[in-house]
Amino acid sequence: MGTIERPLPIGPDCQDKGAHKVAAHSIIRPVWGWFKMLLRVYESCARAYLGEVEGANLLKLHRHSGKVSYLVYPDFETDPHPALLRSIKLSLRTREFDCYDYATSTNPPILHRKETFLPPGHALVAKFARLTRQEEKHGLLDETATIGTREGWQRRLAERGFLVRGHRLLRQRSEREEKDEEREPRN
């Protein structure tokens, strides 16, 4: 297998149909589903070297460094902000790889805006997008540098007085509201 010497020339290939999230330095997409031919070549090179990455359900192509990461989010469909369990990142240039295991971490990285990782028409897009709209409406996704981990996200929710149940955003009742309710006479 040859090496990749230049940045991935994949910007134009990433601007269609929204079946993946394009960030400044990477493309993240579901491992399942369609993918443009050039992008498939990069993913195929990584797969040929690493083999099948068990449980991987998101793929991250690093646009400028020639790296490919396989990400394992076991609760992607059920958890509103799933935690990263494992990441395997391969440099196609050097064939060196790094493995990150968050299985025992109390503060793993988490995902937001899950609908951006699904192809159009997927059955869960509407459900995930509804939660994202609620979170955006209340400014919970602002200042993203502080909400990328479980603890950072929980802190943001607590500061703003919210909690997430299922894929719904709920206003958290304050201690004062709870005490007032306890004092009210019941019929």
pLDDT, tens digit, for every residue of 1-40?
A: 444 444 444 455 554 445 455 554 555 555 544 456 667 7
Residue 23 has φ and ψ, to the nearest 5°, of: -110, 175
Q: What is the pLDDT of residues 33-74, one digit of tens each?
A: 445 666 777 788 888 889 888 999 898 888 788 899 999 999
Task: Please give the helix or strand (H or E) that residue 177 lies within, else none.
Answer: helix 175-183
Instruction: Work out the percent of the chain whose per-residue pLDDT is above 70.
Output: 72
Which alpha helices (H) appear in 114-162, and where do they start and end?
A: 125-137, 150-160
Instruction: Cite the DSSP H helix spans in 21-138.
Output: 37-50, 125-137
What is residue 98's three-state secondary structure? Answer: strand
Whole-prediction pTM: 0.76
Whether 148 has a pLDDT exceeding 60, the answer reads yes
Which residues have CB under 8 Å from 113's CB, separation 6+? 21, 128, 132, 141
Q: Give the Cα separation of 89 and 9 in Å (integer).
A: 19
Determine which helix (DSSP H) or strand (DSSP E) holds 97, and give its type and residue range. strand 97-101
Range picked from 30-34, 82-86, 174-178, 179-183 for highest mean pLDDT: 82-86
Residue-wise pLDDT for 89-141, tens only, equals 999 899 999 999 999 999 999 999 999 988 888 899 999 999 999 999 999 99
Residue pair 90/46 in contact (Cβ under 8 Å)? The answer is yes
Higher pLDDT, 82 or 32: 82
